[in-house]
Amino acid sequence: MAKKEGLIVIDRELCKGCYLCIAACPNKLIIISDELNQMGYYPAEYTEADSRTGDRVCNGCATCALVCPDLAIEVYRE
């Protein structure tokens, strides 16, 4: 069975920068953006690659979306 791949989309204008998703991501694919959103927060940002290995390893587990209090994350799976 092939490994399933996932993709997450973070609405940077809904994100208030609590960074719970960063702590929750088992593959460390979410980072803090360098740019402010319209509300003055540094939102979370999906990197599409593991910061340690450079591999795209999101499996669509949705842990990030489950912990997001602002419902700013959508998860898509293959």
DSSP secondary structure, 46-69, as one string: E-SS-TTT---------HHHHH-T
Instruction: Name the domain count of the chain.
Output: 1
- Looking at residue 78, its pLDDT comes to 80
Q: What CATH number does residue 35 fall under?
A: 3.30.70.20
Of 62, 60, 63, 64, nearest in space to 78 by CA: 60
- Tens of pLDDT, residue by residue over 33-50, are 999 999 999 999 998 776
Q: Which domain holds residue 15?
A: 6-77
How buried is residue 69: exposed, middle or buried, by Cβ count under 10 Å (0-12/13-18/19+)?
exposed
Distance CA 47, CA 54 (A): 10
At 14, which amino acid appears? L
Instruction: State the DSSP code for 70.
Output: T
Q: Is residue 1 part of a domain?
A: no
- Write down the pTM of the prediction: 0.85
* pLDDT tens readout for residues 5-19: 899 999 999 999 999
**Residues 57-61: what's their mean pLDDT?**
89
